[in-house]
């Protein structure tokens, strides 16, 4: 996509998001004049529209950040050229002062450098103008998203300097990916209760989790026991922009483990029966949308859209979700993928295994609502429709 097309597409979606948020604010301001249920219905409809726009903005934001980084690099390179030319001019002036260079020769050689500096100054000015347009609309989106609670606040200085997260390479079958990094799990951050667990102390009867190898995956390995949510160290997530979209509990779909009955060999099930059965002709051919949530229900909650066919998780930088400095996570720990209308998770022979709702899995279908644990990192899988 050309830079002008990218900027136009991004600006239009930011405008839509701002419009829907305005509707929400105005509807809430009318709560004293209209029934509560009516206000909530209007707010909910516009929140859903806002979420759909956010899911479109996430990949576009990654492209915008890439353009900003490219323009910043070009500007830095040109400014380096100017500095080199200015250094040469100073050298010529010194040679002229000490008599090593005549006035005529000085003017001839200095004129070339002055022309080069003037030309570069024009190029730098053009780049700064274009860079200002991109940074301006990104800042506008950052302000709107932070106010609406779908983005974490981010230092404006880091964007102005063009210090954007490094883009990750695309994966087969996938589109543009973002660099999703989970920051350091420092040893000093781990709760003392977790370290005091007798099942995890060296010398106990149960084997403790092993650290994943950096350069190669280990076959098999011991499985870490799931701890209570919130007892372990928490990590901050950096997104570019790192969108933290709150998913309403009212939209939770799928099954929890307790919702499923175990069927025997002699049991018969009539598929499609019941009041909720949908005729085949009414089903949409549009792919189902899903998200992976980190730290659900906390201020640090983040959303990773499952927009392609595969979503890989691990410590390696070329994963779609990169977990940094969790020594229990392998380089290519596991992957989520879709097969037709269904979603699955598969462990990549990781050292410490992958847990789904507390059970060690090799491969399993996901219905939505499952808790996924790798190492000491917690995620929640949600199906949106």
Q: Which pLDDT score is estimated for 85?
A: 75
Is the residue at 159 inside a domain? no
3-state secondary structure of 286: coil
In a domain, 95, yes or no: yes
Please report the beta strands in the chain, taking only residues with DSSP state E, as ranges in sequence order.
180-182, 237-238, 290-294, 302-306, 310-314, 321-323, 334-339, 342-347, 354-356, 359-361, 363-366, 371-374, 377-383
Of the pLDDT bands very low, low, confident and very high (cuts 50, 70, 90), residue 156 is very low
Query: What is the largest distance, in Å, between two alpha-carbon atoms of the chain?
Result: 105
Cis amide leading into 167 (omega within 30): no
Among 98, 122, 148, give the residue marking a domain's end. 148
pLDDT band at 157 (very low <50, low <70, confident <90, very high): very low
Contacts (Cβ under 8 Å, ≥6 apart) of 243: 54, 57, 58, 61, 145, 150, 151, 302, 303
Give the pLDDT confidence score for residue 214 in this predicted structure: 52
Q: Kindly state whether residue 366 falls inside one of the protein's structural domains.
A: yes
Q: Would you say residue 76 has pLDDT above 60?
A: yes
164 domain-assigned: no
Q: Which residues pair with 355 in a beta bridge?
A: 360, 373
Angle between helices 3-29 and 103-148 (to 10 degrees): 30
**What's 296's domain CATH number?**
2.60.200.20
Of 86-95, 226-235, 288-297, 334-343, the poorest mean pLDDT is in 226-235
pLDDT in tens, 313-353: 998 888 888 888 788 999 999 999 999 889 999 999 998 89
Residue 139 lies in a domain: yes
CA 196 – CA 193 distance, rounded (Å): 5
Distance, CA of 173 to chain centre: 18
Average pLDDT score over the chain: 72
316 part of a folded domain: yes
Per the model's pLDDT, the better-predicted residue between 203 and 55 turns out to be: 55
In a domain, 175, yes or no: no
CA 303 vs CA 24, 44, 100, 106, 263: distances in Å: 22, 19, 66, 62, 34
Which one has a higher pLDDT value, 203 or 211?
Answer: 211
63: tokens are: 């492209």
Q: Record the tokens describing residue 351, joined without a space.
A: 């050292």
The arithmetic mean of pLDDT across residues 143-147, rounded, is: 89
Residue range 236-257: average pLDDT?
38
Whole-angstrom distance, CA of residue 290 vs CA of residue 359: 22
State the residue range of the domain holding 135. 3-148
pLDDT of residue 196: 44
Q: Is the pLDDT of residue 367 over 90?
A: yes
Instruction: For residue 171, tell me if it sits in a domain.
Output: no
Backbone angles phi, psi at 158, to 5 degrees: -65, -35
Residue with tokens 């010398």: 203
Is the model's pLDDT at 35 over the cut of 50? yes
Mean pLDDT of 232-236: 41
For residue 327, give Cα distances in angstroms to 1, 167, 172. Answer: 39, 23, 27
Residue ending a domain, among 88, 119, 148, is 148
Please tell me the total count of domains within the chain: 2
More confident residue, 248 or 158: 158
The model's pTM is 0.36
- The neighbour count for residue 121, using CB atoms within 10 Å, is 13
Confidence of residue 114 (pLDDT cuts 50, 70, 90): confident
pLDDT at 369 over 70: yes
Which of 29-38, 59-68, 87-96, 233-242 bottoms out in mean pLDDT, i.e. has the lowest? Answer: 233-242
Average pLDDT over every residue of 117-144: 86
Q: Out of 121, 148, 175, pick the residue that ends a domain.
A: 148
Mean pLDDT in residue range 158-184? 43
């Amino acid at each position: 996509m050309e830079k002008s097309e990218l900027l136009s597409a991004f600006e239009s979606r930011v405008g839509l998001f701002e419009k829907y948020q305005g509707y929400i604010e105005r509807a809430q301001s009318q709560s004293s004049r209209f029934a509560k249920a009516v206000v909530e219905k209007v707010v909910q409809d516009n929140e859903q529209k806002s979420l759909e726009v956010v899911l479109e903005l996430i990949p576009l934001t990654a492209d915008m950040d890439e353009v900003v980084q490219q323009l910043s690099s070009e500007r830095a390179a040109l400014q380096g050229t100017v500095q080199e030319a200015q250094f040469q001019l100073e050298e010529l002036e010194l040679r002229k002062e000490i008599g090593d260079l005549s006035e005529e020769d000085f003017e001839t050689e200095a004129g070339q450098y002055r022309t080069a500096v003037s030309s570069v100054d024009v190029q730098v000015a053009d780049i700064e103008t274009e860079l200002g347009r991109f940074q301006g609309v990104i800042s506008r989106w950052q302000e709107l998203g932070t106010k609406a609670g779908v983005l974490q606040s981010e230092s404006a200085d880091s964007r102005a300097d063009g210090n954007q997260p490094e883009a990750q390479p695309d994966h087969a079958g996938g589109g543009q990916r973002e660099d999703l990094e989970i920051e350091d799990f420092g040893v000093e951050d781990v709760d003392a209760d977790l370290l005091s667990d007798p099942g995890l102390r060296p010398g106990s009867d149960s084997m403790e989790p092993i650290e994943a190898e950096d350069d190669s995956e280990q076959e098999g390995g011991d499985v870490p026991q799931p701890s209570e949510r919130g007892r372990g160290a928490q990590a901050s997530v950096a997104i570019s922009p790192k969108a933290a979209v709150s998913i309403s509990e009212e939209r939770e779909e799928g099954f929890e483990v307790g919702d499923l009955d175990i069927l025997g060999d002699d049991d018969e099930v009539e598929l499609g029966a019941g009041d909720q059965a949908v005729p085949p002709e009414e089903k949409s051919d549009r792919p189902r949308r899903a998200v992976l949530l980190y730290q659900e229900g906390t201020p640090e909650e983040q959303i990773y859209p499952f927009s392609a066919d595969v979503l890989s998780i691990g410590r390696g930088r070329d994963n779609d979700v990169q977990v940094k400095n969790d020594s229990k996570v392998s380089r290519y720990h596991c992957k989520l993928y879709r097969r037709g209308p269904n979603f699955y998770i598969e462990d990549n022979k990781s050292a410490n295994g992958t847990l789904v709702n507390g059970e060690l899995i090799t491969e399993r279908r996901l219905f939505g609502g499952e808790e996924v644990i790798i190492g000491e990192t917690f995620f929640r899988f949600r199906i949106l429709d």
